[in-house]
Amino acid sequence: QLQLQESGPGLVKPSETLSLTCTVSGASISGSTDYWGWIRQPPGKGLEWIGSIYYSGSTYYNPSLKSRVTISVDTSKNQFSVKLSSVTAADTAVYYCARHPPPSGYGDYWGQGTLVTVSS
């Protein structure tokens, strides 16, 4: 059974960089043809797609965040990560990781999500 688990600091200071990791179990990132993505949800609001990465390293980012976001993959640890720089209070959200089976972009498996609060 495929499982995804987000991890990282729950509190980040304004102007700093938010860093989260998604650990995948039950499947090998390098052995699949899937995309792996990050989605966020501010408290009480809707879903925003952040970006996705292929095991080879190819990435697609939301243009609204592209200048601040980097998604990377570590196949040796079966993990993928997101970094969001220069955060503000508007980046406070629950961050989810998800799998996208090719060639689509829908998420069929999701992590439980992790709340990241940006505050001094």
What residues line the site for another protein (CB under 8 A)? 37, 39, 46-49, 52, 60-64, 96, 100, 104-108, 110-113
The CA distance from 120 to 52, in Å, is: 29
Nearer residue to another protein within complex by CB, 65 or 76: 65
Least CB distance to another protein at residue 53 (A): 13
Nearer residue to another protein within complex by CB, 5 or 85: 5
Residue 40 dihedral angles phi and psi, to the nearest 5°: -130, 160
Nearer residue to another protein within complex by CB, 74 or 108: 108
